[in-house]
Structure 1
C-alpha cells in the first residue's frame, strides 16, 4: 500500500484548466456545465486516496494583478479570456472543496505558484516532505530532497534526478532554463528560437544564466545573434519565471489539516451534478481514504471493529476500570489536553488501554454547551495517583514525556514508564517517521482517527475540551489502544537486536523523566537586558546598512546574493576567490569571510549586518516574549526522536544555537541568569568527538597525544609539519584544527582548501601527511565506509544504528554525502549517547541526594545546572565524575566546568 505523504500541495488552477480542455464539455439536465468541475473533484479524490496526506493545501490563483505585472505590464497579456462555461464552474467547485473539508487557499494579489513555493519552502525547513501535484513545468524549480512533483494525469513523479533527466538541467537552474526559452502563455520574453535542448546545452556549458550572458559573444550562428539581441531582457525573464518562496502567509504548512466534511452539502451538490460516482463516495470510501460515516463524525462503525472502547462517566464505571488497571501488570496511558505546550496545557481527560481492542476514555473537563456531567478532576486524580506513581506498574504510551509533564502540573509524578512507542520506533530506525498515525499505518495497517477529524483545523480548530464526547472518546481511547498494539510489534524487534534493546532500556527510556524535569525547571531570563540589547542591535544594524551603502556607492539589498555579486565583482572589482559548482562567482558566507579577512570592507559590513540581524530576530526580540507567565522562566522543549544521530534537539525556543564566539552572542548568554542565592554551573566535554575518533580508530599517535594531555591541535600540526609543538604559529594550529575536525566530518581536500584559503594541492598534501602520521584514522574511515555499504547503517559504541538510505544511491553526490555522514555519525552519535548517560547519572544523583541543584539546559556537549551557592563545590565534583565516567574509552574524557551568575560567566 502506498505510504502516507506528510504534505500535499495542489496546483488547483492547473487542475481546472487541464480538466476543462481534456474532458468532454459535460452538462447536467438543467444545462449547467459540469465537466471541468467533476474532473477536478475526481482528480482530487484520487490524489488523496493515493497519498493519504497528513496536511493538504488546494491552491487557486486569486486573479488580478500581482508583482509580476508591476515589473512587466505585458505579463500574461496574450492570455485569452476565460470561457464563460468554465467561469461558471469555479464558484461551485470552491464551495464543494470547502464542503469536503479540504484547506482552500486563495491569496489576493499572489499567484498560486508563489503560495505553493512558500509553503513548500517552509515545510522543507521544518523537515516535512512535500508532494506538489501539478502539470506545470515551472514547479520543477522547487524540487529538492524534501519536495517532489506528481502529474496526476500521467502519474509521473519527479525528484531532483527526474528533473535533470526530463529537462536536462537540475532544479536550481529551471528558472534560468525558462528565461532562455521564454513562455508564450505567460508572455515572458526569451531568446527567439531557443528551445529546450539549446537552453539545456548553454546552461551545461556556462553554468547558469549569468554565465550564458557573460559568454554570449562566444555563441555562433543565428541563435547567437538572437541571444545577444535579447541580453538586456533575460534577467527580467528569469525574475518573472522564478517562483517566490517568501510570501507573507497567515498560516503554516501544519495548519493545513483536512477538516470533517459537510456530508449533506456534498450530497446536495453531487445530486445537482448528477454524478453517481461522486454520490457513491458518500456511502463508501470518501475523502482521505476514510469512510464517509467516520468523516461525518459518526464513529459507531469504527467502534464495532473488534474494539471495546468505554466512556467513563460514572463512579461505577471508574471503579470498574480502577479494578481492571490494578489487576493488570501493564497498561497504556494517554492524556488529552488543551495545548501542545505542557507548561500551559490543562488536563481534559485520560485514556487507558489494557489489551488490543480494550480501551477507555475518562473525560474530566469537557465544557462545551450540553456536555454531560463528568467526574471531578481532582478527586479522580487522587484515586489514580497510586497507580500512576507506582514504579512497579508498567506503563505504555506514545511520547510519555508530554504526559509526565502535564500530570506533574497536577501533583502526579508518572513512574513506571516501561515502553514508549515514539522512542522504540526511533531506536529501531531514526530516519523514519515516529508520529502515532504514521506508525499505526506502517506497522498495523490501521488508519487512525485524526485530530483534525474531531477538532477541525486552522483558525476554526477546537480545543479538546470543546470536542463532543461522542467524538473525543473514540479518538482518545484509540490513541492508547494503538500505543499498546504498537508495543507488541516493537518489543520483539528490539529483543532481536540486544544492543538496541539495551540502548532503549538504559538510555532513551530513563532519559524521559530527566528531560521532563529539565523542561519544567526552565531557565531564568533577564528580559530587560535582552530588550536593551535589541535596541542597541537595531541601532547598529542601521549604521551598518548606511556604511555598506557608502562603501558600495549606492543603496542595495544586503540580503540579495545577486545584488551583492554585481557590486563585488562588476562594480568594485573584488577578487573571485571561489565559484559555485556551476562556475559563477560565489558570495557564500565562506567567501565573505575570506574577502573580509583580506581587508575588504564591504564583505565585513555585510557579514556583521547578517550576524546582528539574526541575533536580534532570533534571540533578543523573541526570547522575552516566550517567558512563561506562571513560572517567570523560559522553557524549551527537548526532542529525543528527531535527529538521525541521537542528539537531542531543542525548539520553542531553540536554545542550542545561541552563538558563543562573538561578543554579541556572549551578551545574549549573559541574560541567562541564576535565581537569587544560586549560580549557574556549565560543564562541557573537551574535544569529545576527537577523543571518540581516537578510541574507534585505535591510532597509536592519537591515543598517545590524548593520554599525555597534549593540545591535540598542536600535536596534529607538529606531526604534519615535522616540528615541535612549541615552534608552531597560531595559524598553523588553526589549520591543524580545521584538519582534525574537517576529516571527522568527511571533508574533502577541496573543502579543506576552501576553508583554509589555500590551493587544493596544498590541502591535499596536508591530508596525505595527516593520514601518513595517523594511519589508524584512514583505516577506520575506509572500514566504516565499507560497513555502511554492506549493512546500510553504522553504529555508535552503544550500538545505536544510524541508517544511511542513500549509501548506494546511483547519484554520486548523494552517495558521497552519505559516505561523509557514515564517517561522522559514529562520533556524533556516540557523543550523544555519552552525554545522555551523563544526564541520567547527574539527575539521579540530584534526586537521590535532594540537593538544591537542577539541570536546566543541555546544549550539544554541555550541561548547565542551577545550583545553590552553598552546594557548588559538591555539585561541581559530582558532575565532573558523572560526566567523565559516562563511558569507558581508550582515552580519558575531560570535562571543563565553570561557575557564574550567568551562562556566559559560567562557560
Structure 2
C-alpha cells in the first residue's frame, strides 16, 4: 500500500496564483464581453445612461481605457467606467459648445465693433419693446460685475450679445463706452422691458454701471408662478425645455461654476447668451397666451406682481447697518458663556460629548426615567424643561450656540464692502400661496430678538416699524363674514380675548394678552383655518383630545360662519382641485384633492387666508415704495428697509414728523381694504437698536418734542 501524502496549502503562496488566474481571465475577456457583464449588473437609470455613453464614446474612438488598467491587464470595472464618464461628459460639453457656435442662427448678433453697435442701436431706435439680460462673473449683485449685455429687438427679431469684459484675445468693446451708449435705452421708460428674474439684472445694472432701468413690463419668472405655483424649477432653461420643447442645457451643465467672463470664444458666448433673450421672448408669448384665459389673474400679475419686482430690488438695496464693535463684544461674551455652559453640562453628564445625540439621549433618559423618542428640542425636550433644570440648561446651551454660530459671529462678515450694509434677499413668491420668504446667508424674517441687537439705525435716522394689526385674523373674518369677529374688531377688542371670555366664562378685562386662556382661544380659532385635528390641537396646548374637541365646539358655536366657510372651501377644493386667493387674483392649486387625499383639505382655508395676506403685503409695499419716493422728492430721506412677516420696516429721518408718521400709517391701512373690517397698524420707533422699540409718544418725549 502506498504511503499517504499529507498536503498543506500556504495561503500566502495562493495569492499570486489567484491573481494570475484573475489576470488570465481578464486578458481573455473581450471588450464586448466586458460591456455585456457590466450591463448584467444591478444598474439604475443613471448607471444605464453612463454605460451606454461611455461604450458609444469608446466605439467612436473618442476615449480609450485608462492606461494603468491596460498595463495591469485589469478587467473593465464599473468604477473605471464612472471615471471615464467624466471625460465623456467633458468631451460632449465641448462638442455642444462647438455645435452652438457653428449653428448659431443668423438673427443672433455678436457685436464687437462700434460700427456693428451703431447698426444695432439704429434698429432698436424703432423698437417699443426689448428683452434684456446680463451675463456676469457670479450671482452676488454687489461683488460681481457685468461681462456682457443681452438685448433682443422684439419687432426686428434680432438677439444681440455685446461682450465687454471677457477674458479673451478676441476683440470686444470697452465696458464703459457700451454702458454710455446703452444707458438711454435702459432708462427710457417708454420702451417696454422684458426679462427673466429681472430683479437680479436690475440690481447688477445699478450697482455695476449706475444704470437705473425703467419701463419693466414683463418678468417671465413670476409670471410662471401665476400659471403654476407648484413648478419644481423656475430656471429659464428648465421652463423652455418643459413648455416650449426647446432643448436647453443649464449654465452649470455648459460652463460649470466658472463665471461667464471665462468663456473666451465669443461666438460660443453669443450662442448661449443671445438664446436667453430669444427663449425669454418665446416664453413670455406662451405665458401671455395662457394668462389671457384668466383675466383676473393676468390683471393682478400686471398690477401687483410686476411692480413688486422693483419694490423688492429697492427694499433689498437699502440694507441694515451693523454695530461691528458691539457685535464683536457680544460674540466674545456669548462664546465664553457657551463654553462655560458646555463644560458644566459635560461634567454633570459624566464627561460625554453633549453634542452627540447618541451619547446624550441615554443620559437624558436616565435623568427623566422615561424612554425618549428623540432629543428634539421643540417636540421632546421643551415640555420637560420646567421639571428638569438640567434640560433647561441644555436647551439654553443649544439656543445660545445657534445664536452665536448663525447670527452674532456670522452676520458681521456678510456686510457688503461696497455699501457697508447687510442686505436681505427675498423671494417674491417663496411660498406656494405667494407669501414672501427671505433667503441667503441673512434671513431677515428669522432673525431672533437677541440678534436684532447688533443692528442699529444709521446716523441721523430711525427705523420705523409698522405692522398689520392681526392681519390674518381680519382677513379670515372678512372672507367668512364672521359677525362675532367683525364686531370685536369694530369695537377695538381683541377677538381672541373675546372668544376666551366666552369659552372660560371670565370677563374680558381679566384676560391678558399672554394668558393661557387667550392662547387656547387663538389656537382654537386657527384650528378652523389650518384644519387642525383635536389630537394635534390638544398636544399643542397640553390638554386632552376631549378638552380640545370641547373647546373647538364652544368656539365654533360663536363663529358659525367661519366654520361654514372652511367647510365650503373643502367642498370646493375636492371638486376643482384648487381654491381662489383674493378677488380671484391667483389660484392655489391642490390637485391631490381631486384624488380624495386628506392633506389638501387641511391646506385650502389656510391657503386662502395666507395668500390674501401676501397680496395685501405686496400691494402695501408697492404703495409704500411710491409714497417714500414722493417724500424723497421733497428732500426727506425715507427708504424701504425690510419686510418681516406682518411688519414693514422703514428707514426714516430722526426728525420724522407726526404728519409723516400718519402718511406711513395711512399706507398700511388704506392700500388694500377688506370687506366689513378696517385695517389697523401699530407704529414702533427704533431709535438705536432694532431690538429696542419705543411707542410714538415715548419717542417724541425722548427727543424733547410735544405730542399733539
TM (normalized to structure 1)? 0.66
Evaluate the alpha carbon distance shift between residue 715 and residue 361 of structure 1 in structure 2; reply closer, same or farther with a 3 A threshold. same
Evaluate the alpha carbon distance shift between residue 464 and residue 785 of structure 1 in structure 2; reply closer, same or farther with a 3 A threshold. farther
Post-superposition offset of 1:262:
2.3
Give the greater-gyration-radius structure (CA): 2
Evaluate the alpha carbon distance shift between residue 353 and residue 45 of structure 1 in structure 2; reply closer, same or farther with a 3 A threshold. farther
Evaluate the alpha carbon distance shift between residue 693 and residue 366 of structure 1 in structure 2; reply closer, same or farther with a 3 A threshold. same
Specify the SS of the correspondent of 1:647. coil
Is 1:830 matched with 2:612?
Answer: yes
Please list the CA deviations of residues 295-330 of structure 1 after superposition, one character each: whole Å capped at 9, or x if unmatched.
x533145424xx621101112211221122121221
Specify the SS of the correspondent of 1:303. coil
2:422 to 625, 634, 637: 634
Question: Residues 351 and 362 of structure 1 are in contact (CA less than 8 Å); yes or no, is this contact kept in structure 2?
Answer: yes
List aligned pairs for 1:642-653, cutoff 5 A. 642-653=430-441
Is 1:721 matched with 2:507?
Answer: no
Is 1:869 matched with 2:654?
Answer: yes
Evaluate the alpha carbon distance shift between residue 672 and residue 649 of structure 1 in structure 2; reply closer, same or farther with a 3 A threshold. same
Specify the SS of the correspondent of 2:672. coil
List aligned pairs for 1:753-832, cutoff 5 A. 753-798=538-583, 799-809=585-595, 815-832=597-614
Evaluate the alpha carbon distance shift between residue 475 and residue 773 of structure 1 in structure 2; reply closer, same or farther with a 3 A threshold. same
Post-superposition offset of 1:706:
0.9
2:367 to 572, 590, 603: 572
Pairwise CA RMSD: 2.9
2:190 to 382, 385, 392: 392
Post-superposition offset of 1:86:
6.6
Higher relative contact order (CA 8 A, sep 6+): 2
Post-superposition offset of 1:892:
1.6
CA distance in 1, matches of 2:379, 2:79: 52
List aligned pairs for 1:734-749, cutoff 5 A. 734-749=519-534
Evaluate the alpha carbon distance shift between residue 300 and residue 686 of structure 1 in structure 2; reply closer, same or farther with a 3 A threshold. same
2:225 to 413, 420, 426: 426
2:236 to 431, 436, 450: 436
Instruction: Name 1:411's counterpart in structure 2.
Output: 210
List aligned pairs for 1:845-860, cutoff 5 A. 845-850=627-632, 851-860=636-645
CA distance in 1, matches of 2:481, 2:642: 33
Please list the CA deviations of residues 555-592 of structure 1 after superposition, one character each: whole Å capped at 9, or x if unmatched.
253452x55543333x124467xx8xxxx578551332
CA distance in 1, matches of 2:213, 2:454: 33
Instruction: Name 2:672's counterpart in structure 1.
Output: 887
Question: Residues 787 and 794 of structure 1 are in contact (CA less than 8 Å); yes or no, is this contact kept in structure 2?
Answer: yes
Post-superposition offset of 1:34:
5.1
Is 1:731 matched with 2:519?
Answer: no
CA distance in 1, matches of 2:268, 2:283: 23
CA distance in 1, matches of 2:203, 2:545: 53
Evaluate the alpha carbon distance shift between residue 26 and residue 692 of structure 1 in structure 2; reply closer, same or farther with a 3 A threshold. farther
2:381 to 585, 592, 601: 592
Instruction: Name 1:712's counterpart in structure 2.
Output: 495
CA distance in 2, matches of 1:482, 1:643: 26
1:667 to 450, 455, 465: 450
Instruction: Name 2:84's counterpart in structure 1.
Output: 96
Instruction: Name 2:692's counterpart in structure 1.
Output: 905
List aligned pairs for 1:199-598, cutoff 5 A. 261-262=90-91, 293-294=95-96, 296-300=97-101, 302-304=103-105, 308-355=107-154, 358-368=158-168, 370=169, 372-409=170-207, 410-432=209-231, 433-457=233-257, 461-549=258-346, 552=349, 555-558=352-355, 560=357, 563-569=359-365, 571-574=366-369, 584=373, 587=376, 589-597=378-386
Question: Residues 523 and 633 of structure 1 are in contact (CA less than 8 Å); yes or no, is this contact kept in structure 2?
Answer: yes
Evaluate the alpha carbon distance shift between residue 39 and residue 626 of structure 1 in structure 2; reply closer, same or farther with a 3 A threshold. farther
Question: Residues 25 and 33 of structure 1 are in contact (CA less than 8 Å); yes or no, is this contact kept in structure 2?
Answer: no
Please list the CA deviations of residues 361-383 of structure 1 after superposition, one character each: whole Å capped at 9, or x if unmatched.
11111123x2x222222222222
Evaluate the alpha carbon distance shift between residue 91 and residue 779 of structure 1 in structure 2; reply closer, same or farther with a 3 A threshold. closer
Evaluate the alpha carbon distance shift between residue 538 and residue 568 of structure 1 in structure 2; reply closer, same or farther with a 3 A threshold. same
Evaluate the alpha carbon distance shift between residue 46 and residue 353 of structure 1 in structure 2; reply closer, same or farther with a 3 A threshold. farther
CA distance in 1, matches of 2:37, 2:336: 56
CA distance in 1, matches of 2:31, 2:524: 77
Instruction: Name 2:67's counterpart in structure 1.
Output: none
CA distance in 1, matches of 2:241, 2:143: 31
Post-superposition offset of 1:544:
2.9
CA distance in 2, matches of 1:852, 1:621: 31
Post-superposition offset of 1:423:
1.0
Evaluate the alpha carbon distance shift between residue 878 and residue 49 of structure 1 in structure 2; reply closer, same or farther with a 3 A threshold. farther
List aligned pairs for 1:59-78, cutoff 5 A. none
Specify the SS of the correspondent of 1:392. coil
Question: Residues 466 and 665 of structure 2 are in contact (CA less than 8 Å); yes or no, is this contact kept in structure 1?
Answer: yes
Post-superposition offset of 1:906:
3.5
Question: Residues 192 and 215 of structure 2 are in contact (CA less than 8 Å); yes or no, is this contact kept in structure 1?
Answer: yes
Please list the CA deviations of residues 882-901 of structure 1 after superposition, one character each: whole Å capped at 9, or x if unmatched.
11112211212111111122
Evaluate the alpha carbon distance shift between residue 656 and residue 820 of structure 1 in structure 2; reply closer, same or farther with a 3 A threshold. farther
1:690 to 473, 484, 488: 473
Please list the CA deviations of residues 199-243 of structure 1 after superposition, one character each: whole Å capped at 9, or x if unmatched.
xxxxxxxxxxxxxxxxxxxxxxxxxxxxxxxxxxxxxxxxxxxxx
Q: Count matched residues.
A: 640
Question: Residues 898 and 905 of structure 1 are in contact (CA less than 8 Å); yes or no, is this contact kept in structure 2?
Answer: no
Question: Residues 130 and 153 of structure 2 are in contact (CA less than 8 Å); yes or no, is this contact kept in structure 1?
Answer: yes
Post-superposition offset of 1:666:
2.5
CA distance in 1, matches of 2:650, 2:587: 30
Please list the CA deviations of residues 449-476 of structure 1 after superposition, one character each: whole Å capped at 9, or x if unmatched.
431344234xxx3443544212111111
CA distance in 2, matches of 1:389, 1:48: 49
Evaluate the alpha carbon distance shift between residue 844 and residue 43 of structure 1 in structure 2; reply closer, same or farther with a 3 A threshold. closer
Evaluate the alpha carbon distance shift between residue 655 and residue 29 of structure 1 in structure 2; reply closer, same or farther with a 3 A threshold. closer
Evaluate the alpha carbon distance shift between residue 726 and residue 609 of structure 1 in structure 2; reply closer, same or farther with a 3 A threshold. same
Specify the SS of the correspondent of 2:677. coil
Question: Residues 639 and 649 of structure 1 are in contact (CA less than 8 Å); yes or no, is this contact kept in structure 2?
Answer: yes
TM (normalized to structure 2)? 0.84
Structure 2 unaligned residues grouped into runs of 5+: 1-24, 53-71, 695-708
